[in-house]
Structure 1
Amino acid sequence: MSLTREQNELLCRIENGAPMGQMLRNNFWFPVALSQKLVADGAPLKVRLLGEDFVAFRSTDGRLGFFDEKCPHRGASLLLARNEDNALRCIYHGWKYSVTGEVVEVPTEPVNAAAFCKKVPLNHYSVREAAGVVWVWIGKGQPKPFPEFEFNSLPDDQVYVSKQLVNCNWVQDVEGGMDSAHVGILHQAWIQQARLGATTDDMAPVYDFDETAGGYRYAAIRNAAGGKKHLRINEYVLPWYSFICPDENNEGDRLTIMSTPIDDENTFHWLVRYNPHRPLSPSLQNPAENPDDFPPGTGGAANRWGQDRGMMMRGHFSGFGHLNTEDFAACESQGAIADRSKEFLNSGDLAVVRLRRLLLDLVREHQATEGNSSGFPHDSMDYHRVRAHVDTVKDESVWKSIR
């Protein structure tokens, strides 16, 4: 499904009250920062979501606060604020905001300051921590159910999270996570290290789909030795979660990609490496020297994202020094916002086509009901059951029973 330009705008734009941005805001929790970046009484952290700026901080007693960046008084940045006594104090005029979102001091108000404090319109938001990640709800009313994926309740040695800024629209990043057809091609130089050998035996997987409450599962079916079929069973959960199967067997480490929309042209790409059975093994994704910048940025279009043509001459397929850099370069090279009206798609793109349709269905439902519904089954969604799988079987028709 190539899109019209109008459909593409509806799908991608999330700033300035755009319909997709409003739907996301009022339906989903956002992963926004690594927990380790927030230190008690430390510097507030700037967070940008949907083209708007916020501050996150950890209070004296360890709780998390999340406010609009601008002080409601005169608009000075609360990134400059003092973080003390379980509150942020704006350094411009000393107004003080508790971690729970209450205005507790206005030193410049001489008459009945306590009553005045109650009138100050401070925007503060619900915050959670899980899997070493700070999550926030910035929507209206009571938060929707938190996404209790199984990685959110694992011990520290069974989950590892890192992130990187990707300079393109968030939908491109989601599409990359659900595109199984590129694995054996773009990443072929890493096949042995990443234990993805079966993906190069058949470069043209056949997709079979199974609708789920919050998205879909699919089997990317490849021909394997001995007349068998190799199955990579991945799962997409709206709006930005891609669950990627283990490398070789179902006891192996799994990967979830999350794509946080910063603004129309920038995205945080999250890698959640986890194992529900045992401690993680070292891999290309963990541990990272700096999990807040992983893999380290290598530039952009001006230097071909650090591509080494000499490596390519010596036999390396892509010329990039890390598997994930290959993904980032391919994603960003499509443009800040890919023009999907010019695409010429094939059968290898069916998973991408399907996620686009689901996202467009959500935002249209949100528009049609004036924001009262998106059609996402919040109350019946079983997040903990979501899990990707890998297998090699004689009869691929059994894949839907593999969980």
Structure 2
Amino acid sequence: MISQKLNDQITRIGPQTAAGAVLRRYWQPAALADELRASNGAVPVNLLGERLALVRDASGDLVLATRVSSPDEPPAHYPDPQSIELVEGGPVYPVVEKKGMVFTYMGPGTPPAFPNFDCFRAPDSHVFAFKGLWECNWLQALEVGIDPAHASFLHRFLQDEDPSDGYGRQFRDKAAHTDMPMTQVLREYPRPDIEVEQTDFGLKITALRHMANDLTHVRVTNQIFPQAICIPMSREMIITQWHVPIDDENCYWYTMFTSFAKPVDKDVMREQRLKEHRLPDYAPLKSRANNYHYNPDEQESLTYTGMGLDINVHDQWAVEGLGPIQDRTREHLGRGDAAIVRYRQMLRKAIKAVESGEEDMLPMRGGADVGRIVGPLSNDAIASTHDWKQASFLTDMQRRAECPWDASV
């Protein structure tokens, strides 16, 4: 457990806050390219406690400018683009479009370079971007993503689908080099050993599920500082996901789905997700207001939550159920929370670095050669228990060697 003062320090992100100062020193997703294409005018953006709009400046360049908003405007409100009024003399932030997302830099000085992550260097044909609204603080949204054990419980499927029918869905694949569905692996081996190591970009998180016959399932995920994760979706695809604060009590998840093999079927993936979200605010159709479509019959025979097959809904229920801002003064972290503990330490260290003017100490800032940061390794593998590290690495190298675009590391 932590004090209320510390909980406030690591969760609140307004312009004059400690955590907000850290997040503002990194590129943040501000909108989807799909939103730009669909708009006939400015695109409203609510980000880090500020009400903004994507507009063209006098030179025709896209920028993020401060817009006029009413005091009672909902956090994810999308006003009529034609009615948006900008604040004369208000902050204007630079933007850049990458792989279907529009990023902005809201901090002081020169923006940092983008790392050479797979999601950024894959061709456009192999990357699909989407987002969704969650009514909770950004930190609890991030922390569910760096908890490797939660998938065995929150995303427990009591029946295993045919993996060939699961394109574009997480955990709808067979474990590497076996005929065992991933859903079965997670269900039958629910309590992994977890190893966490610090990297140039954040944290590498390895979950080890020890199986029969001296085999171990190895699942490598990553925390990319300050508030992204990179995780395997299937053997072919990875997910890079940012948890982006709208304000203290609401956030968006922005995701890039990156394929190592075939081009992504963007129409299929968009259609899948639009069945679960409404436009223009990308709010999920299942929510607290309709009890997330909870079905006790489904819970009896199909899923742990009884809330359908979309795991985003499971995560949404879990993080929104903690309240707008999770009360960490009464929590009791355990062995399975190793990555959450390490991340909070890293965030507190970054806060101190900014407060003391030592911004070069931040991950991927200062003198770091960010362009040399590649990957990161994010995959599932089953290997001999005594040789799991090498086997996990070689599985990733094989996937990269067969990749039609340059995925070399």
Sort the TM-score into its range (normalised by shorter chain).
0.7 to 0.9
Deviations 1:31-83 (CA, angstroms, capped at 9, x unpaired): 01111211498221111111111100358997422211139xxxxxx977869
The alpha carbon displacement at 1:377 in A equals 3.3
The code of the aligned residue for 1:30 comes to Q
The alpha carbon displacement at 1:199 in A equals 1.7
The alpha carbon displacement at 1:375 in A equals 2.5
| Unmatched tracts of structure 1, length 5 or more | 72-77, 98-119
The alpha carbon displacement at 1:360 in A equals 1.4
The alpha carbon displacement at 1:254 in A equals 1.1
CA distance in 2, matches of 1:314, 1:66: 48
Aligned residue number for residue 303 of structure 2: 316
After TM superposition, the structure 1 stretch with the greater mean CA deviation from structure 2, 340-349 or 148-157, is: 148-157
Q: Is the 8 A contact 2:286 2:313 kept in 1?
A: no
Aligned residue number for residue 256 of structure 2: 272
Aligned residue number for residue 394 of structure 1: 384
The code of the aligned residue for 2:237 comes to D
Q: 1:29 to 1:282 in 2, by over 3 A?
A: closer
Q: 1:270 to 1:122 in 2, by over 3 A?
A: closer
Aligned residue number for residue 22 of structure 1: 21
Give the counterpart of 1:213 among 200, 219, 226: 200
TM-score scaled by length of structure 1: 0.79
The code of the aligned residue for 1:345 comes to L
Deviations 1:189-232 (CA, angstroms, capped at 9, x unpaired): 27545232322221100011222012111210001242111100
Give the structure with higher Rg (CA): 1
CA distance in 2, matches of 1:300, 1:246: 24
* Percentage identity across paired residues of the two chains: 24
The code of the aligned residue for 1:255 comes to I
CA distance in 2, matches of 1:377, 1:316: 40
SS where residue 22 of structure 1 aligns?
Answer: helix
Aligned residue number for residue 385 of structure 1: 375
Aligned residue number for residue 226 of structure 1: 213
The alpha carbon displacement at 1:166 in A equals 0.4
What are the within-5 Å matches in structure 2 for residues 231-250 of structure 1? 231-247=218-234, 249=235
CA distance in 1, matches of 2:131, 2:359: 33
Q: 1:245 to 1:5 in 2, by over 3 A?
A: same
Task: Count residues in correspondence.
Answer: 359
TM-score scaled by length of structure 2: 0.78
The alpha carbon displacement at 1:304 in A equals 2.5
| Unmatched tracts of structure 2, length 5 or more | 70-77, 167-171, 174-181, 397-409
After TM superposition, the structure 1 stretch with the greater mean CA deviation from structure 2, 144-153 or 159-168, is: 144-153
The alpha carbon displacement at 1:122 in A equals 4.9
Q: Is the 8 A contact 2:193 2:207 kept in 1?
A: yes
CA distance in 2, matches of 1:62, 1:155: 26
CA distance in 2, matches of 1:270, 1:17: 24
CA distance in 2, matches of 1:299, 1:289: 12
Give the counterpart of 1:69 among 41, 46, 67: 67
After TM superposition, the structure 1 stretch with the greater mean CA deviation from structure 2, 53-62 or 342-351, is: 53-62
Q: Is the 8 A contact 1:51 1:263 kept in 2?
A: yes
CA distance in 1, matches of 2:55, 2:65: 9
What are the within-5 Å matches in structure 2 for residues 83-94 of structure 1? none
CA distance in 2, matches of 1:358, 1:186: 26
Aligned residue number for residue 102 of structure 1: none
Q: Is the 8 A contact 1:38 1:58 kept in 2?
A: no
